[in-house]
Chains A and B, each alone.
Chain A
Amino acid sequence: EAQVTQNPRYLITVTGKKLTVTCSQNMNHEYMSWYRQDPGLGLRQIYYSMNVEVTDKGDVPEGYKVSRKEKRNFPLILESPSPNQTSLYFCASSEQGRGPQHFGDGTRLSIL
């Protein structure tokens, strides 16, 4: 079954404690991206990757890092999380950046 898998689905943590949200897709897609969704602000892109070892900033990259060492994986790293990063995060993949996106089920992060 074609899918994008994110882990964890829920996480409550404290300010400054490094965390990683994993994302994996099984569709051999070249394009992957991370979004955060906040009430009233809609879906905003954090980072995206056009292919292995190629990543670039989205609209709200501050405080986040990503890596793309393998085609299927695109982890999101918060080196020093802060409360303003409390949000619902989505990973997505597609054959190309402007085509239909396949989304994961989301990760709800709470930073206390």
Chain B
Amino acid sequence: SQQGEEDPQALSIQEGENATMNCSYKTSINNLQWYRQNSGRGLVHLILIRSNEREKHSGRLRVTLDTSKKSSSLLITASRAADTASYFCATDRVIQGAQKLVFGQGTRLTINP
């Protein structure tokens, strides 16, 4: 079953606005990752945040992690049309003794020009 649950499922905003997507999970994690997927293409790794980190930045991306609430958020500032994509969180968990990544179902982000 999918551990990460993204919210909202879909988000549509105007170019230049900020976009915030959330991810909740159920069990303890070592790290949480965010990926982007352009339509029909492979996922691209954006950022990894470890369980002992609270915030991380990469260019226009800001990721926060609240382990007490078991949630993370991805903020994209000053959005551009090229940011239109689906965004997935992935959490690592141990399943039957193996360390694995579990992906959520994603947030579909549309940036309107």
A residues whose Cβ falls under 8 Å from a Cβ of B: 4, 35, 40-43, 45, 48, 56, 58, 88, 90, 92, 96-106, 108
B residues whose Cβ falls under 8 Å from a Cβ of A: 2, 30-31, 33, 35, 40-45, 48, 88, 90, 92, 98-101, 103-106
Q: Are B42 and A103 in contact (CB under 8 A)?
A: yes
- List 13 A–B pairs whose Cβ atoms lie within 8 Å, in order of A's numbering: A42-B88, A42-B104, A43-B103, A45-B101, A48-B100, A56-B98, A90-B42, A90-B43, A92-B42, A97-B100, A98-B92, A100-B48, A101-B35
Closest chain B residue to A108 by CB distance?
B40
CB distance from B38 to the nearest CB of A (A): 10
Q: A42-B106, A43-B88 are in contact. Are A97 and B43 (CB under 8 A)?
A: no
Chain B residues within an 8 Å CB radius of A48:
98, 100
Chain A residues within an 8 Å CB radius of B100:
45, 48, 58, 97-98
Chain A residues within an 8 Å CB radius of B31:
98
Given A45-B101, A88-B40, 13 additional A-B pairs, CB 8 A? A4-B42, A40-B105, A42-B88, A43-B103, A48-B100, A90-B43, A98-B30, A100-B45, A101-B33, A103-B42, A103-B44, A105-B42, A106-B42
